[in-house]
Structure formats: C-alpha cells, structure tokens
Structure 1
Amino acid sequence: MSELTDYPAPLVVLSPPRSFSSLISAMLGAHPQSAGLPELQLFMADDMDQILKFFALTPGNLEDGLLRSVAQLYFGAQSDATVDQAKAWLAERRHMSTGDMFRTIARKVAPKILVEKSIATVWRPVFLRRLRQTAPHAKFLHLIRHPRGQCSSLVNMIGHREDTVANDLKDFSTNPPTFDPQIAWLQIHQNILRALGEVPAEQVMRVRGEDVLADPERHLAEIATWAGMRADSEAIDAMLHPERSIFACVGPPSAPFGSDPKFLENPVFRPQQSKPQSLEGALPWRDDLPGFVPDVIEQARAFGYV
C-alpha cells in the first residue's frame, strides 16, 4: 500500500487499440496478487452523472466493463439480474466523481492490485490527466506495437466500414479526408508520452507487445516485479492462463463485452512469434502515399522498431 492511499498502486496499461492490450492486460490481471477487470472507461468525464449520460447516448457497449465489474464485485455474479442491480448501484452514486468511483473499486479489490486498461483513456490528453490525478501513485505500462502490425490489424477490424470511422483516423490534408490509422497510432503515443513525461521514472515501464508474446515468461516476470508482485513459477503459470479469469468470456446479454470481443470469444494465450515488420514500403490501406509519414517513422524508430 502507498503511504498516501488505502489501496495498492494500480497497474495501468496504456496503448492504442489493436496492440495486444486486451490479452496482455488479462494475463497481468490473472496474477494471484492482481485483480484484472474489464474496461471501466471512467476517465472520459469528471463525474458519474456525466459518464452515465455519455454511456446512455453513445452507440456501442462502452458501459459493459463497468457494469460487469460492479455486478461481480458487489452482487457476486454476472447475469442480467445482477447487471440491473449494478445499474441501480451506479445510479445511486451519480454524485460521485469518476475518480472517486475508480478509487472505490480499487479499494474493493484490495489488497489485490487493480489492473486497469480502458482503451478510450488514451485518445484525449484530458482523459489521461484525470487518470493521473486520480491515481498519481499508479504504475503505468506503456504497451507498444509496430505501426505496420497495429494499423493493419485496425484496418482488418474496421473492414469496409471506413465511412463510419472517427475523425482521429482520417487524414484531413486530402479532400475528402482519407482513412489512415497511422495518424491515430502517432497521436495516441504522443498523448501517452506527454502524460507520462512528468511521472517518476520508477512508475513507468515501456514494453513491446510483440516481445511479450514471443517470450512471455521473461517479460511477464519483469512487469510483475516492477509492479510489486511476485514472479515465481506459480505466478507466471497463472498469467499464462488468462482464460481462467471470471471476466475472460462473453458476459450476459445486457452487458456482453467490456473488452475486445475477439479476445472474449477465445481468451486462451498461445505463444507467437510476430512476422518481421518494416517501416519501409507501401501501405496496404493507402495507395496515395509511398509509405509511413516521417513523424511515424521517427517515433517508431525511437521505440526500437525498424
């Protein structure tokens, strides 16, 4: 426990989407000393009234992770009935700040370490500021992936729905704007780097997702030790089995997700060696450019990619 708090320092995973974050967060959350929850998505607003209204007005399933977490932690199961109870429980706490809600959940899982991974947090600097203000003692794991692999995965996920993508994924230097995920890759990493710029060095670790998947025992042990958890064989074995988590599955119909749906459908870890990726060459999703823009290449090289 920190001297300033009554719950252990959370382990917060920060990364762009499609960076192996759902799998690696679930692996870290399977550690015997941690509590890996679905995505809480709390830091997009200052208070619970705002965030609950935002959830209600936003298409999709942003609220599923918070509902599943509250249902399990406070009502003992994940079912349509306990999700209804979770909704009522949250409605009664509309007056709370989102930071207080995060701390309430962190205290609920204590003495275990809360593993937090909410993909929306990294999209806006203000969201990251709320996170840092809420848990200044947190350990921040900056998870990265080669831009070619990350962008290709995002393109495959979006498929032929390019007209529905957010403006953050569009290049507005063209007319009409062109879908290009490298823009978001760069912007999100810049957001993370700026947010962590004033965080004490011992609270920050950067790791390449490809390295974790290729040599999980080594890298999971390093992350666990840095986060203040054991790194013995029992702990490593537990992290190699994220499918054992009570949240590593599709939830009830009223709150099915809270993480990447593909991961929830098949949460078993399989060691894998990523195919070599290059920063040079044409982009399969964009034929009007010779390759990655210079700023992306520069940042990727700073991360150790070639």
Structure 2
Amino acid sequence: MMDAPSVPDPVFVLAAPRSFTSLITAMIGQHPELYGLPELNLFQCDLMEEFNTGLTPDGISKSPVWKTMRHGLLRTVAELYAGEQTVESIHMAERWLARRADRTSAEVFHELCKSIAPLRVVEKSPGVLRKQVFMDRMLEAFPNARFIHLLRSPVDQGRSVLKAKGGIGVLLAMNCVDYRGEEAALEPQILWHDTQVQILRFLDKLPDEQFVTVRGEDLLNDLDNSLGALCRWLGVSDDVEAIAAMKRPEESAYSCLGPANARLGNDVNFLRSPALREGGVTSTPLDAPLPWRADAAPLHPRVQALARELGY
C-alpha cells in the first residue's frame, strides 16, 4: 500500500491591490512543483457558515461585493473535484461548501492543500490584509508557510487603483480619504502605506527565512534571474523548463473568466488578458507630482520614507 503524499505548506503572496499580484502569483503558480490558486478569501472568516452567507456572527454583511469574493473558492472546488469550471460544477461546489458550513476556514484550506499535494499551493487574497485578525488566522493555520511580500512603487500602484474597475470602491471601503484640503479627496497612497505597515508588522513575527521581499518591477524587468532566485528560495527546481512554465501564466485553469455563476476570483483585467508581456517596467520617482492630486503635490513624506526603506 502506497503512503499518502506529504502535504507541503502553502506559499502566500502579501501585497496591496494593483501590485502585479494577479500576474506574478499566476506565474509562480505555474511552476511544475507548485499550484497557483485564485483568491480564496478564506481567512476573512472563521467558520465556513460565515463564508457561505457573507454575514458576520452578529449578522452584519461582510462586504457589498462578498458574493463575487466567493468566486475564487467556488472555481477552485469545481476544478479540483469536477475537473472543470462550468455552471453545473459551480453548483456542485456550492453544495460542497454547504456540507462544510460547520468547519473552520483553516480546515477547508488544509483539505484543499491535501487534495493538491504533492504540489505546493500558491495563493494571494489582498482582502486578508484588511485586518490583523485575518492575518493571524492565516498564520495560525499554517505556521510554517512561506510568505512573499510583493511590492509596487506607491505612485504607480495608486494610479493603477484609481483606474481599475472597483478601485474607487476599495479606497472608500478602506477610508483612504484625505480631509486636509477644503474638500475631502480620495488618496490611494494611504492604501499603499497602511497595507505595507500591516504586512511589515505581520512579518516581524516570523524568522527571516520564512519570508522574502520582492519588488514587482525588478522581477518583471529581469525574469530569468528573479524567478530563478525565487525558485531557489522556495526549494523548487530552477531549471530552464520550470522558468519557461512560469512565463506562461495564461495556461493556468484559473487565468480566464469563469462560468456565469462564478466569473471572477481574480482581477478582471488579468482574467481578460492574462499573458505575460515582457518589456521594461518603470517606477515613477517618489518626489514626482501625483497625477491624481489637483495641487500636484508629491507623496507624503512618511510614504516616501517607507518606500525608500523598501528599496524605491
């Protein structure tokens, strides 16, 4: 009788929204020894009943877009247990989740990892970074997981958030508003700053070997060397075939729009056009006038200082 495969601890990508997260997570997940998932959002909940209903234990709605935040897990269950993502297999996934309503999110995540073993799960859910309790739940479930702190320059990340579908809603939900002027104005640099602080506080709990910081611009501008270094840090093959597979994120089963009852699970722009486009990725200088500000002010000094500390 053959032994069951060991279940490796997952790899979590921690990053602010619009920080190349969809592309780079999909790339890493295409490595032959890894398995990239869409956004599961599991650790925003304790029990699966909360995930299924979208209601907190005291009956408050978790998010006005919680229905779409469930799409990644539904697509994952459909793909893993039905071998396809169709309207019918998504209905099956709903039943699968309903049968686990009394389980914890950690138990369900462990079950998924076991079904994927010996491949190692790679996942990112930016919503988990909203609250420290969500991140603590993730670490409690997987104390030996690896964490990739993925960065993007604050000016470019802020510009991207404002352009993205739903980006303004994210800024409002996170209270990223500057009240210092005569009129209140959306200020995406608050999202960048507060997310990095949240991640850094979390990483302070971990030994150095358990996490790595990656600037997305550096990775995309030097793919072979950056991906090779990341593979060696993860302890997986860095041969030519593995690196080539990572450059084909569009081959993931999740790198496309899903069926009508679970369309998303990732950034919609990535899902519509998931291929890697090789070429130079630039960073806007930290002291440049911000394109979204009427007064053309640069980044706040605290944001500039943190960005420089992180290598920009």
Deviation at 1:276, TM superposition (A): 4.0
Letter of the structure 2 residue corresponding to residue 155 of structure 1: L
For 1:98 and 1:83, the matched residues in 2 are separated by 19
TM-score after normalising by structure 1: 0.93
CA distances 1:186-233 after superposition (whole Å, capped 9, x unpaired): 000100000110111111100100011111111111111111211100
Going from structure 1 to structure 2, the CA distance change for 1:154 and 1:87 (only over 3 Å counts) comes to same
CA distances 1:113-158 after superposition (whole Å, capped 9, x unpaired): 0001111111221111111111111110000011011001111115
TM-score after normalising by structure 2: 0.91
Going from structure 1 to structure 2, the CA distance change for 1:167 and 1:122 (only over 3 Å counts) comes to closer
**Aligned residue among 217, 220, 237 for 2:227:** 220
Counterpart check, 1:7 vs 2:14: no
For 1:276 and 1:115, the matched residues in 2 are separated by 26
In the TM superposition, 1:87-126 aligns within 5 A as 87-126=94-133
Contact (CA 8 Å) 1:162, 1:179: kept in 2 or not?
A: no
Residues paired across the two proteins, number? 301
For 1:54, the equivalent position in structure 2 comes to 54
**Aligned residue among 230, 254, 270 for 1:247:** 254
For 1:153, the equivalent position in structure 2 comes to 160
For 2:307, the equivalent position in structure 1 comes to 300
Runs of 4+ in structure 1 off by over 4 angstroms are 158-164, 172-176
Letter of the structure 1 residue corresponding to residue 141 of structure 2: T
**Aligned residue among 175, 189, 193 for 1:168:** 175
Identity score, percent: 38
**Aligned residue among 192, 200, 203 for 1:196:** 203
Structure 1 unaligned segments of length 5 or more: list them. Answer: none
Structure 2 unaligned segments of length 5 or more: list them. Answer: 56-60
CA distances 1:28-83 after superposition (whole Å, capped 9, x unpaired): 00000011111100011111111222178744310110000001111221000000
Going from structure 1 to structure 2, the CA distance change for 1:247 and 1:162 (only over 3 Å counts) comes to closer
Counterpart check, 1:44 vs 2:51: no
For 2:238 and 2:246, the matched residues in 1 are separated by 10
Alpha-carbon RMSD: 2.0
Contact (CA 8 Å) 2:148, 2:213: kept in 1 or not?
A: yes
